[in-house]
């Protein structure tokens, strides 16, 4: 994978520009990666509901759960679907709205300085090998493009928002990710 530094976009992936983004306060301060999971409706995979959420187009009548989240304005930089498809919603040099109230090593407002990567999944199911492979590729590309990043700066959403968030969950295999990053 390759990131076009000028645009902040991964090459050869689907890009949909989410309206839920804005300028980072300091473009040189991209110093963390946050791993999330998402499934819509919860526990169900496939379909376009995640796209709809990140594009502010989620139909609240399509599922009872959607009534509780349809008004959220959220995004991630990248989504990795269960089949390995990579989608980008926010250029990396922009601030995605993925972390909410958060703290990483004493720094609040993690959206300001982190990259948000969503895996299509849930806290109580294993992730697919192809998702780890694509995630490792994205992380390696990020570390190559943004010199302040390294593989020691990857956290789960639960790490930066303990008690509020639980993702990527107990079924996320951190060792598998780090093994792939070492290869």
In the structure, how many helices (H) and strands (E) does the chain have? 5, 12
Spell 167-182 as b/e; 16+ CB within 10 A means b: bbbeebeeebbeebbe
Active site residue ranges:
118
* 88 dihedral zone (left: phi>0; alpha: psi -120 to 50; beta): beta
Place of tokens 């989608």: 87
The alpha helices in 129-173, defined as continuous H runs, are: 129-145, 157-160
């Amino acid at each position: 994978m390759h990131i076009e530094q000028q645009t902040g976009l991964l090459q050869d992936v689907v890009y949909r520009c989410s309206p839920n983004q804005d300028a980072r306060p300091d473009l040189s301060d991209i110093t963390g990666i946050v791993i999330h999971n998402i499934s819509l409706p919860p526990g169900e995979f496939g379909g376009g509901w995640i796209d709809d959420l990140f594009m502010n187009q989620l139909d609240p009548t399509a599922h009872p759960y959607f009534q509780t989240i349809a008004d959220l304005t959220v995004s991630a930089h990248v989504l990795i679907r269960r089949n390995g498809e990579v989608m980008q919603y926010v250029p990396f040099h922009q601030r995605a709205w993925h972390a909410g109230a958060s703290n990483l090593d004493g720094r609040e407002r993690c959206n300001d300085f982190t990259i948000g990567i969503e895996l299509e999944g849930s806290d109580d199911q294993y992730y697919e090998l192809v998702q780890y492979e694509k995630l490792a590729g994205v992380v390696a590309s990020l570390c190559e493009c943004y010199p302040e990043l390294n593989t020691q700066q990857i956290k789960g959403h639960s790490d930066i928002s303990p008690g509020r968030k639980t993702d990527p969950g107990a079924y996320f295999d951190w060792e598998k990710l780090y093994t792939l990053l070492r290869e």
